A and B are shown apart, each in its own frame.
Chain A
Amino acid sequence: MSEKEKNQEENPMEGFLRMDRIPHIWCSGCGIGTVVTSFVEALKKSELDLDKVAVVSGIGCTGRVAGYIKLDSFHTTHGRAIPFATGLKLANPELKVVVFSGDGDLTGIGGNHFIHAARRNMDLVVICVNNFNYAMTGGQVASTTPQGANASTAPYGNFEFSFSLPNLAEAAGATYVARWTALHLRRVTKSIQEALGKKGFSFIEVITPCVTLYARRNRLGDGLNLLKYYHDNSEIKHGADTRTLDIDYQGKLTVGKFVDKEKPTFLDAMNEHLGKVLGDDYQLYGRLNND
């Protein structure tokens, strides 16, 4: 094939991206683009009707994902992607709603909404890209920054304790919990695929390199160095007890699928209960009446 012919062939990702906004704003070596590709692969494999898939993001580097994916996408306020997605899903239960946002957005400012949506087992797929800091605003300390790491608002090192996100998700009631790194390309795809095919609150944490901020402030090198750290230190332990999944600074990363159980979703519980109590009077959005 000639060079010219080669360059006119379209990258298979392009059908899923708003090409008028590519190249994207993420840094060289940032793993978010990789997670987006893994996500799109999962979408392709899941055979969902893509017109019915909606992506909701918050604010931050990962929050920009909504702007690049060519589905019904929403770029909402900081920390509020999950309640927004809740409203969207409840207003139109046919939609498959994916929340794609960062660790600071979802579990820092958005922590309250995170635990309640998990408690309610809202039918949402939450993909949390964890780069251990608030990257967009310059690398401040976050609820996930490991103890001892440097951040712009912890210039002497972080002395706070950090979340173990799978533990938080499971404790709050999530029915699917997995953790991978951006390097685990196809395992991330498989987890997202499983979550898309499942009802209930699914939480997938993807640990991702942040070169310009987290890595630079901690002198960890560039994207390749971080990927090497993931390669050398991640250990797959499916079904591990989520209480053992803490991340120490540059320590072991336990990855895998930790929780995969069935439980009625909020809508299931609501429909069943109100149907029982109100009988025929209860018809969600009048579907049975051809509204």
Chain B
Amino acid sequence: MKKIYFGNLQPKKGTIHIARDRCKGCGFCVEYCPENVLELSAEFNVKGYHPPDVKYEEKCLYCQLCETICPEFAIFVTLKTPGEAEPSLAEVGASGTAGEAHKEGGNR
């Protein structure tokens, strides 16, 4: 589904920071990211858990859901400044999906 941005509105972009060794591999962030930015790593961290890997950082919209839901305080998102932001709107529109974030009673 193609995203439409009105006027000068730009989507926010986020940089994802993961404290890999603090992660306990619960999978909440991977499951509930509305843009499916994360996936569980095939590698183990120091504790033997699979922490998340950032698969599509350019799709991150700085919703900070992963940051809020993580029970280990192991992931957070910082806002990319305009200079850092990924360019092409068209790229995002082509491959992104709206995700499941907007259902009532759900995860917001």
Interface residues, chain A, CB within 8 Å of chain B? Answer: 1, 6-7, 9, 11-14, 17, 22-24, 26-34, 37-38, 41, 183-187, 189, 222-224, 227, 231, 234-236, 255
Contact = CB atoms under 8 A, between A and B. Distances in A.
Interface string B75-89: 010100000100000
Contacts of A223: 26-28, 71
B104 A236 contact: yes
Instruction: Specify which of B71, B72, B76, B84 lies most central, judged by the most chain A CB atoms within 10 Å of its CB.
Output: B71
19 contacts: A1-B15, A1-B84, A11-B73, A12-B76, A23-B22, A23-B24, A24-B72, A29-B26, A29-B27, A30-B71, A34-B71, A37-B73, A183-B106, A185-B108, A186-B68, A222-B26, A223-B71, A224-B31, A227-B32
Contacts of A41: 68
A231 B104 CA distance: 9
B7 interface: no
Chain B, interface size category, equals 20 to 34
SS class, residues of chain B in contact with chain A: loop
Closest 10 CB pairs of A and B: A33-B71, A28-B24, A29-B26, A13-B73, A11-B76, A185-B68, A34-B71, A223-B26, A6-B17, A28-B26
B17 A7 contact: yes
Given A29-B71, A222-B27, 12 more contacts: A7-B17, A13-B76, A29-B24, A30-B71, A32-B71, A33-B70, A33-B73, A34-B68, A34-B70, A186-B68, A223-B28, A227-B107
Nearest to B78: A9
A37 B71 CA distance: 8
A228 to B, nearest CB: 8
Nearest to A256: B105
A287 B5 CA distance: 57
A22 B22 contact: yes
A33 B108 contact: no
Contact of B49 (A28, A34, A186, A227): A28
Interface in B12-33: 15, 17, 19, 22, 24-28, 31-32
Contacts of B74: 11
B61 interface: no
A28 B84 CA distance: 34
A41 B71 CA distance: 14
B105 A224 contact: no
Contacts of A224: 26-28, 31
B28 A227 contact: yes
Interface of B: 15, 17, 19, 22, 24-28, 31-32, 49, 65, 67-74, 76, 78, 84, 104-108
Nearest to B74: A11
A27 B24 contact: yes
A107 B25 CA distance: 32
A22 B17 CA distance: 17
A236 B105 contact: yes
B22 to A, nearest CB: 5
B78 A38 contact: no
For B19, B67, B105, the residue with the greatest tally of chain A CB atoms inside 10 Å of its CB is: B105
A231 B108 CA distance: 11
B67 to A, nearest CB: 8
Contacts of B106: 183, 231
B25 A28 contact: yes
Nearest to A27: B24
A66 B41 CA distance: 32
Contacts of B15: 1, 6
Contacts of A7: 17, 19
